[in-house]
Amino acid sequence: MKFEGRCVMITGATRGIGKATALAFAKEGADLVITYASSEKAAKVVKDECEALGAKVLCLKSDVSKEDDVKALFETAVEEFGKVDVLVNNAGITKDNILLRMKTEEFDDVIETNLKGSFLCMRAASKIMLKKRYGRIVNLSSVVGVRGNAGQLNYSASKAGVIGMTKSLAKELAAKNISVNAVAPGMIETDMTAAMTDSAKEEMKKMIPAKRMGTPEDIAHTILFLAEEGSGYITGQVLCVDGGMAV
C-alpha cells in the first residue's frame, strides 16, 4: 500500500488513462479526489469502483480552465483530506483539424483546457505542497507534444507547452521536496482510438517498435512510479510511454 495516507488528485478521471490511474492509486491505498467535466454518471462508476477497493473518494465536477473552479476544487480537497500530496494533471480535450480549417475557437478551447488548466492546477497544488514541503506533480503530455502531428496543431502546442511548464516548475520546486514530471503517452487504446478503423490501427502499429498500442494501465503504472515517495530525485523529466515511437 505505497500511497496509504496520501491524498491524490486526478483531473479528468472518468475514462481511459484517468480512470485507470484512479483505480491504480486506489489499489495502493490512496485517498482520492477525482474530477469530471460533464459525465457525472461515468464519474460515479469510477468512484464506486475505487471505493470497492477500499479508497476514500471525493468526486467533484470541475472545469479546470476556470480559475474559480480550480480554487474551489482544491479548497474542498483540503477541507476533506487536509492536504494534496499528489496531483495528476490528466484533464484534456482534442479538437483536431488542419491549420487552414482550424477555427480560432478550436485552438483556444484546447489551449484553455490542456495548457491553462494544467497551469491553474499546478499553481493551486504548489501552494498546498509548499506548506507541507512535500509533493508529486505528474502532468500528462503526449508523444504529439514531442514530435508534432499533422492535423493536431492546437493539441501539439498545448502538450509541448505542458512540457515547458513541467521543466520550469521542477526547477522552482526541487529544493522543497516537490517533484514535477511529465508522461508523454503514445498511441493508447482509449475511446478515441476505438473509433479508428482496423486498417488504420494496423498502419499505426507499424510505426511502433513494440508492434502494439499501449493500454491505459501502461500509463497508470508509470504515473504511480513518478508519484512514489522514492522517486523524488526524478524531476523535470518527460517520460515517453509509447512503445518506442519517439526513439
Pair 188, 216: CB distance under 8 Å? yes
Provide the domain count of the chain: 1
Q: Considering the domain boundaries, does residue 246 fall inside one?
A: no
Give the pTM: 0.95
Mind telling me the catalytic residues?
155
Could you list the residue range(s) of the whole structural domain that residue 169 is in? 7-241
Per-residue pLDDT tens digits for 54-82 = 999 999 999 999 999 999 999 999 999 99
Bridge partners, 138 (sequence order): 88, 181
Per-residue pLDDT tens digits for 161-174 = 999 999 999 999 99
Per-residue pLDDT tens digits for 121-166 = 999 999 999 999 999 999 999 999 999 989 999 999 999 999 999 9
Q: Considering the domain boundaries, does residue 247 fall inside one?
A: no
Q: CATH number, domain at 88?
A: 3.40.50.720
Q: Provide the residue type at 190 as one letter.
A: T
Question: How much of the chain exceeds pLDDT 90, in percent?
Answer: 90
Torsion of CA 3, 4, 9, 14, to 10 degrees: 90
Q: Considering the domain boundaries, does residue 110 fall inside one?
A: yes
**Adjacency order of strands within the sheet including 31-36:** 57-61, 31-36, 7-10, 86-89, 135-140, 178-185, 238-241
**DSSP code of residue 99:** G
Q: Considering the domain boundaries, does residue 179 fall inside one?
A: yes
Per-residue pLDDT tens digits for 78-96 = 999 999 999 999 999 999 9
Q: Considering the domain boundaries, does residue 214 fall inside one?
A: yes
